[in-house]
Structure 1
Amino acid sequence: MRKQFEAYRMYLIFSCLYALFYSLNSTVTMVYQVEILHLSPLQLVLTGTAFEASCFLSQVPTGIVADLYSRKLSVILGVGLTGLGFLIQGSIPSYPAVMASQVFLGIGSTFIDGALEAWIADEDRAKGLNTVYLRGAQFGQIGALAGILLSTVLGNLSLVLPILMGGGLMLTLCLFLALSMPEVHFHPAAPEELNSFQKIGFTLRSGIKIIRTKTVLLLLLCMALFTGLASEGYDRLNTDHFLNDTTLPRLGNLKPVTWFGIFGILVMLLSTLVMQFAVKRKKASSSLGSVEQLSLINFFYLLSMLLFGITRNFSLMLLSYLTINTLKALNRPILSALLTNQIDRSVRATVLSTNEQVNSLGEILGGPLIGLLAEKFSVGFGISATVIFLIPVSLLLLIIRNRELKNPAEQT
């Protein structure tokens, strides 16, 4: 008889393993694209555009699948598609193959986004979501740290090897989830008497209705758009910035990929420490506290992004890089909890997927623009230009904070 894990424990196990397998690929993939495939700044950004376009087109449909049929099935499909994407990228060293892999990765991520958060919110209602998401993020950091170490070692032998291994392990994770992931509290969002197409329409309309009637949700969706506009250029160009705009100190006979393993390890350690501090703070349990934390995170994120773009000094570049990535890791679970607490559980996956879709739209629009600036002027200039998109995020957080102060009874 198959053994299923308790939901909270399964959530932590999944967070750790998924991050481990994903980081096997992500630690080396940008170095692989720059050093082996020799992609230009614009090509690097366009790979991200392919990924985000796939996310944008599939977010709401995959969210509806999670709300109508099974959050567990949605997560399993997402992990499987992610594994296939890794295998395609690693087995065919060409730009078209990289673009094709991004389609699989994009669709795979949308099956997981929203569905995972909605699944644990339903299956374990005893714990506060802030604590659950932050603990999950911490376990994810631990898994990612192990993945970075392994990927760095393998990357010194071959940049392709960790990518292929990550793909194979993702497919193995699918089987483990099918046998061990519990789902006992799921109830379809639509009435049983409706047919499949009617259920899809019912769920989508319910999600849209909640978004339209909650001002805070609309403001958070606007934030997602501007965050997306700002993030894609940095995500795709920071490796190029390190490799071509500064001098990486030599580490004996080790390859440059070793530095990116070190960067990743430092980010993981810093993120874990900062998240532990956030978990212990009671302030994080309220909506107002979450908004104030997000405001502080965005302020330092903006300053660090500007510094990273304009400097060519290795030490300053490293300092700003570590700050940016640590703040990004902390931002996600706090924002997820704030957003989830605003949504009726029956349409959580759909609304969360809509939020991710809006973020993807921002990345689709912002990425090529930053890529063109980087191609015409410099990679550093392109990254610095993303700061323009972060200013509206601060303003939106200020508006949300003022609303929370005026309506304390609505705080979760």
Structure 2
Amino acid sequence: MDKLETKHVYYTMHFIISLASSIMFTTYAIYYIEELGLNPLQLILIGTAIELTIIIFESVTGVIADTYSRRLSIIIATFILGAAFLFEGSIPYFSHSSLAVGVLSTFALLLIAEFIRGIGETFLSGADQAWLTDEVGEEAVAKIFVRTNQLRLVASLIGIIISVALASIALNLPYLAGGALYILLGIFLCIYMKEKSFEKVEAAYEKPWKAMSSTLLSGVTFIKNKPLLVMLLVVTVFIGATSEGFDRLWEAHLLEAFTFPSIGSLDVVVWFGVIQFVGTLISIGAMEWYQRRFDVNQPKVIRYSLFYFTIGQVFFLIIFAVTPSFYLAIGCFWVLGIIGSITAPMYQAWLNQQLENKSRATVLSIMGQGNAVGQGLGGPFVGVIATRYYIRTALVLSAILLLPAVVLYGKVMKS
């Protein structure tokens, strides 16, 4: 498989993943709150469950990807995630049966589904980026990451429309559709995904524990010997703490703080679809303009972008939390989406450019663990604040948790 084909497989994989995610997560908060009856603390605890799973399994699955096969790890991930989402979408059927007793309450069933999902996420995390970087080379990944993010946004637009249509019929249907897409993606990857540049660790089968422990040690040592990677690991912890609060509570904040304007017969489900559709459309245009205006392969551009955009993220998140204006809140939400769509691929490219091939997936997984630690520690704290006081207060706290990342990015920019 040549580089062009590899790139197209990567584009297709992430297009389908984003399509499935958009279908499920556009209306998931309404599904959780109205169908499954979760409160703000339970919303956060669901996120904590998946993050704890990632903390436990991330390094293990990253080591497997570096020791045996990145391709195999990715394919395993798609099937596990598909099964988890199908199960999560089926919870209303279980909760109305005799299973919904004792520990098998609706909330417990959801925790089980998220635990399974967490395992799937760890098999995917790091392995996809490591596979692509090995196959096409480090010099080509930055533009591929940016283009992939644009395709993901396009997929999100399509997914939003599908999500609203399905949720208008039944709130659990988006999860069933998303799970089915992951299963189909797994079949597609089995057929079309190739792996030519990966070098399997010697004794991977004869002495598996020794081979995997050697890979893990190599990854940890590599991070310790590069101060920039240590700094990025710390940054991911604070980013994780902030993202968990915002990602889990922004819909609940809008539902609690505002009365949605009456425009025709638009209900809340459609409103959320419109908000995310317009925001995604704006982000696509902003990303295209930014990569045309700046050379996103340049480390200096990446460093400055991450620093200034992270400052903007803190500012607009606070405004989003405290403003009494519905339309200003939506505007801030759209700006936060633009910031995330630009910085995410830059961070991925910058990180991959610092890594060595043999431990790439392991190091990326350790970085993923850092993010999960931030979400696992920050999430419950923010959730308690949201439940005992106000969701506004919890969102402001989430913004404050991002300030150490601003300081660290500033140090890197100056150096």
CA distance in 2, matches of 1:115, 1:193: 20
The superposition leaves residues 54-109 of structure 1 with CA deviations (integer Å, 9 ceiling, x where unpaired) of 11111111111111111111111111111112111111132222211111221211
Superposed displacement of residue 190, structure 1 = 5.3
The answer on 1:210 being equivalent to 2:222 is yes
Q: How does 1:364-379 map to 2 (within 5 A)?
A: 364-379=376-391
The answer on 1:310 being equivalent to 2:322 is yes
Partner of 1:45: 44
CA distance in 2, matches of 1:191, 1:134: 37
Amino acid in structure 2 at the alignment position of 1:247: T
Superposed displacement of residue 282, structure 1 = 4.5
Partner of 2:238: 226
Partner of 1:160: 172
Partner of 1:116: 128
Amino acid in structure 2 at the alignment position of 1:28: T
Task: Verify the 8 A CA contact 2:138 2:352 in the aligned structure 1.
Answer: no
The superposition leaves residues 174-213 of structure 1 with CA deviations (integer Å, 9 ceiling, x where unpaired) of 1111011121111125566972111111111110111001
Segments of 5+ residues of structure 1 without an aligned counterpart are 404-412
Partner of 2:112: 100
Partner of 1:80: 79
CA distance in 2, matches of 1:365, 1:194: 39
Partner of 1:253: 265
CA distance in 2, matches of 1:60, 1:145: 33
The answer on 1:349 being equivalent to 2:361 is yes
Secondary structure of 1:319's aligned partner: helix
CA distance in 2, matches of 1:5, 1:333: 19
The superposition leaves residues 9-52 of structure 1 with CA deviations (integer Å, 9 ceiling, x where unpaired) of 11111111111012111111111111222211111110110111
Secondary structure of 1:283's aligned partner: coil
Task: Verify the 8 A CA contact 2:204 2:212 in the aligned structure 1.
Answer: no
Superposed displacement of residue 267, structure 1 = 2.3
Superposed displacement of residue 281, structure 1 = 4.1
Partner of 1:391: 403
Secondary structure of 2:261's aligned partner: coil
CA 1:51–1:328: 2 relative to 1, 3 Å:
same
Task: Verify the 8 A CA contact 1:154 1:162 in the aligned structure 2.
Answer: yes
CA distance in 2, matches of 1:71, 1:267: 33
CA distance in 2, matches of 1:348, 1:186: 11
The answer on 1:239 being equivalent to 2:239 is no
Superposed displacement of residue 253, structure 1 = 3.0
CA distance in 2, matches of 1:80, 1:89: 14
Task: Verify the 8 A CA contact 2:287 2:338 in the aligned structure 1.
Answer: no
Q: Which moved more, 1:208-217 or 1:160-169?
A: 160-169
The superposition leaves residues 342-393 of structure 1 with CA deviations (integer Å, 9 ceiling, x where unpaired) of 1101111000010010110010000010011111110111111112211111
Secondary structure of 2:26's aligned partner: helix
Secondary structure of 1:128's aligned partner: helix
Q: Which moved more, 1:257-266 or 1:206-215?
A: 257-266
Superposed displacement of residue 226, structure 1 = 0.8
Partner of 1:25: 24
Task: Verify the 8 A CA contact 1:230 1:366 in the aligned structure 2.
Answer: yes
Amino acid in structure 2 at the alignment position of 1:95: F
CA 1:142–1:50: 2 relative to 1, 3 Å:
same
Amino acid in structure 2 at the alignment position of 1:114: G
The answer on 1:146 being equivalent to 2:158 is yes
Superposed displacement of residue 309, structure 1 = 1.1
Secondary structure of 1:253's aligned partner: coil
Structure 2 length-normalised TM? 0.93
Partner of 1:68: 67
CA distance in 1, matches of 2:169, 2:204: 55
The answer on 1:136 being equivalent to 2:148 is yes
CA distance in 1, matches of 2:48, 2:403: 23
The superposition leaves residues 296-320 of structure 1 with CA deviations (integer Å, 9 ceiling, x where unpaired) of 1101100011011112321111011
Task: Verify the 8 A CA contact 1:5 1:182 in the aligned structure 2.
Answer: no
CA 1:177–1:362: 2 relative to 1, 3 Å:
same
CA 1:195–1:274: 2 relative to 1, 3 Å:
same
CA distance in 2, matches of 1:303, 1:245: 19
Q: 1:295 aligns with which of 285, 288, 307?
A: 307
Structure 1 length-normalised TM? 0.94
Amino acid in structure 1 at the alignment position of 2:167: G
Amino acid in structure 1 at the alignment position of 2:382: I
Partner of 1:90: 89
CA distance in 2, matches of 1:344, 1:306: 38
CA distance in 1, matches of 2:347, 2:261: 37
CA 1:122–1:292: 2 relative to 1, 3 Å:
same
Task: Verify the 8 A CA contact 1:156 1:254 in the aligned structure 2.
Answer: no
